[in-house]
Amino acid sequence: MFERLLVCKYAIADLTTSNPNVLYELGVRHTARPGTTLTIYAQSTPLPFDVRILRRQRYTLGAKNQFTASAADLLCKKITEHLEEMREQSRHEQVQDSPLFDLVPTWSPKLLTEAAADAFRADVRANEQLKVKLGRLRALGQETSQRDHVRTELAAIRAIALADGSPDVGVLTELILAHRSISDWSGMIDVYNEMPDGLQQQAPIRQQTALAYNRRAELDGPTAAADRPEAISMLEQLEKDQGPSSETSGLLGRIYKAQWLRARAAHDSDRARERLNLAVRAYDRGFETDWRDVYPGVNAVTLLEAQGTERALRRKNELLPVVRFAAKQRLRAMAPEYWDFATMLEVHVLDNDMDSAEEVLQQAVAAGAECWQRQSTTDNLRIIESVRRERGQAVSRLAGIIDEIKPPDK
Dump pLDDT digits (tens) for 294-309: 999 999 999 999 999 9
- Minimum mean pLDDT range among 69-83, 121-135, 328-342: 121-135
pTM for this entry: 0.67
Residue 299's closest CA among 215, 212, 380? 380
- Minimum mean pLDDT range among 8-17, 84-93, 224-233: 84-93
Contact 330, 343 (CB under 8 A): yes
- Number of C-beta neighbours around residue 66 at 10 A: 11
Q: What is the pLDDT of residues 93-131, one digit of tens each?
A: 777 888 888 889 888 888 777 777 777 778 778 888 888
Q: What is the pLDDT of residues 167-199, one digit of tens each?
A: 777 888 888 888 888 889 999 999 999 888 888
Would you state the pLDDT for residue 259? 92
Would you state the pLDDT for residue 410? 45
Mean predicted confidence (pLDDT) in 271-294: 94
Q: Using alpha carbons only, give the angle 225, 228, 233 rounded to the nearest 5 degrees.
A: 125
**Of 270 and 86, more confident:** 270
**Of 408 and 38, more confident:** 38
Residue 298's closest CA among 276, 333, 327, 337? 327
Query: What are the sequence ranges of the domains in the chain?
Result: 2-112, 115-196
Would you state the pLDDT for residue 409? 63
* Residue % of the chain over a pLDDT of 90: 51
pLDDT of 282 strictly over 80: yes
Contact 40, 79 (CB under 8 A): yes
What is d(CA 109, CA 103) in angstroms, rounded to the nearest whole number?
15
Within the chain, what is the greatest distance between any pair of CA atoms?
A: 82
Mean predicted confidence (pLDDT) in 10-22: 89
Backbone φ/ψ region at 305: left (φ over 0), alpha (ψ -120 to 50), beta: alpha
pLDDT, the chain, mean: 89
Would you state the pLDDT for residue 130? 84
Q: What is the pLDDT of residues 239-249, one digit of tens each?
A: 999 889 999 99
Residue 173's closest CA among 136, 142, 139, 130? 130
- Minimum mean pLDDT range among 102-106, 224-228, 361-365, 375-379: 102-106
**Of 165 and 18, more confident:** 18
Mean predicted confidence (pLDDT) in 152-173: 80
What is d(CA 345, CA 306) in angstroms, rounded to the nearest whole number?
18
Residue 31's closest CA among 90, 93, 86, 101? 101
- Number of C-beta neighbours around residue 355 at 10 A: 8
pLDDT band at 402 (very low <50, low <70, confident <90, very high): very high
Residues, the chain = 410
Residue 381's closest CA among 329, 343, 327, 331? 343
